[in-house]
Structure 1
Amino acid sequence: MIEFERAETLSLKSHPEIIEKWVQDLIADDPSILGLGDLELRQKERIQPRAGRLDLLLQDPVTKRRYEVELQLGATDETHIIRTIEYWDIERKRYPQYDHCAVLIAEDITSRFLSVISLFNGSIPLVAIQLRALRVAGKLTLVFTKVFDELTRGLVDEDEEAEASPADRAYWETKASKSTLTGVDDLMKIVKSFNENLEPKYNKYYIGIGKDGSPFNFVSFRPKKSSITLEIKLPQSDDIDENIEQAGLVQLVYNAQWGLYQLRLTLVDVKSKKDVLSELMRLAYERRSQL
């Protein structure tokens, strides 16, 4: 029998014992609770020249992307937003070799401040996370919910078409190999099972997907001499990461800037791991079809 326990919502701002540092330390011990991926702590209370201290500096161990995190108990306000952006700006100028993202965390992020934050989206990679404190069965738990995500900085399909130099199959047979192109053909059979109107679109740097004469790139292929790099446009999630790992697929990296998974496939992978590849591409197709 499933038992239900009612949760009580608490205000950390008005809590007599909890202070901001307690939450800060909790995140520092396990940054994954923010839901931004398997991040690592670089530094707490990082001194900013003539600008105070950054609450948390986190980093993705694979992509090396850095997250400048500012935490505030209670409701966010103008100074919180300004401080978050200021610290992000300082860090990106000090360490331009890294990709940087500003992260604002507060218990209450009103629609008014979401509107203000949206003004920066597209020019500043900014994520807003709402923090909720709950008491369940006498124990305190924290829930972090992303209420505003950064704009994915990738080319839209029309720009991809404009930027891509046209090529043909013969070009790729020279650049890659006939055998890896056969692997691409097998992957395209899966793609066409979603929609018969989808066709390979040969470009100089990748093989994309076309639909009715226009780009429809929910996946793309970069065949090489003995392998294929498969790029799948999906938001990163623990479930997808687990499926990829359990299938034994080689994940090169998750490209957060372009919002896609990059998998290195052998011809054996294409045939023996068809089911999981089909499922991943299907999810990407359904997501692209909803745009």
Structure 2
Amino acid sequence: MNFAKAERISLKLHPELNERWVQELIASDPNILGLGALVLRDKERTQPRAGRLDLLLQHAETKRRYEVEVQLGPTDETHIIRTIEYWDIERKRYPQYEHCAVLVAEDITSRFLNVVSLFNGAIPLIALQMQALKVGDHTTLVFTKVMDEMSRGLVDEDEDAEATPADRSYWEKQGTKVTVQLADQLLSMVREIDASLELKYNKFYIGLWRSGQPFNFVIFRPKKKHIRVEIRLPRTEEVDAKVEQSGIEVLDYDETYQSYRLSVVADDLVKHRDLLMELLRAAYQGRM
């Protein structure tokens, strides 16, 4: 096998390759960014009183959108500001989607990485360092994720002695014994997946407990006439369709905790048991 040494080149100083060339490459195959199965929604997207967004990408299955700003050479203050500004405009214009800002540059210095990291957590932000490499007569781009968005934990997954505990009687007073008993039936279902799971009563929800630690891939909130079941799963059109067609009442999808919030009554545990088990199993496997 022949070895060919790659030569790193500067796109900013290159006489022919420019930012438009980079944009066209990403637009033709967004997967080269390494952010998953993305499709192009728009490029050079006009922003009200704020210039043009380089690329708007969207995950092929979910409603997650990526606002991508490309800069040749090192990143600077204006690049960071543009990236965040365009992200903010798009999320306000289209709140039905999740949005993530993506900053792409040939050189992301430690100084600016520190600055950008200050926004992370408050703003979903990804920084990609782009390298242009010449191998023989060919040029390729390599994207390296130097900062990922801060992942949100499960609901109270860091719960410990500081959590506000409750007990079964507390929830029976808040709702009814009947809806609290639905939590027992749901526990029996999740125990078919993992026999070690137990209910953990807290003042704001009933979670799951495994080996002395929270394991909240699903949580329960008993109400007067139903129990609210919050199943942590990425939103997809397939799951949306299955839940809607089943007849289970869907309250909404919680984007913050990536959870389907369902209003469940006793009949649902019989009529729609197979679907509920499928969702619970997928959420459990996603946690593993």
Task: Normalising by structure 2, report the TM-score.
Answer: 0.67
Give the share of equivalent positions with the same residue, in percent: 53
**Per-residue displacement from partner, 1:132-154 (whole Å, max 9, x unpaired)?**
11223432221111111112234
Deviations 1:142-182 (A, max 9, x none): 111111111223444246995898659x867853785x654
Partner of 1:104: 103
The answer for the alignment partner of 1:175 in structure 2 is 182
Give matches, 1:26-175, under 5 Å.
26-154=25-153, 155-158=155-158, 174-175=181-182
Change (3 A) 1:166 1:67: farther
Structure showing greater Rg: 2
Paired position in structure 2 for 1:187: 193
AA paired with 1:14?
A: L
Distance 1:20 1:78, change over 3 A: same
Q: 1:246 maps to what in 2? A: none
Report the CA distance shift for 1:61/1:174 in structure 2 as closer, same or farther (over 3 A).
farther
Unaligned 5+ segments in structure 2 are 172-176, 221-228, 235-241, 245-253, 261-271
The separation in 2 between residues aligned to 1:71 and 1:51, in whole angstroms, is 16
Cα deviation, residue 17, structure 1: 1.3
> CA 1:22 to 1:260, structure 2 compared with 1: closer, same or farther past 3 Å?
farther
How many angstroms apart in 2 are the aligned matches of 1:199 and 1:230? 16
Task: Give the partner amino acid of 1:74.
Answer: G
The change in CA–CA distance for 1:43 and 1:163 in structure 2 (over 3 A counts) is: farther
Equivalent residue letter for 2:192: D
- Residue 109 of structure 1: how far off its partner (Å): 0.5
Deviations 1:41-92 (A, max 9, x none): 1111011112111101112243312211100011101111111111112222
**Cα distance in 2 for residues equivalent to 1:106 and 1:265:** 49
Could you tell me how far 1:115 is from its partner in structure 2? 0.4
Q: CA RMSD in A?
A: 4.5
Paired positions, count:
251
Q: Any unmatched runs of 5+ in structure 1?
A: 193-197, 223-227, 234-249, 286-291
Is the alpha carbon distance of 1:12 and 1:76 closer, same or farther for their aligned partners in structure 2, counting shifts above 3 Å? same
Report the CA distance shift for 1:11/1:94 in structure 2 as closer, same or farther (over 3 A): same
Contact (CA 8 Å) 2:205, 2:219: kept in 1 or not?
Answer: no
Counterpart amino acid of 1:184? V
Deviation (angstroms), 1:232: 7.5
Residue aligning to 2:215: 217
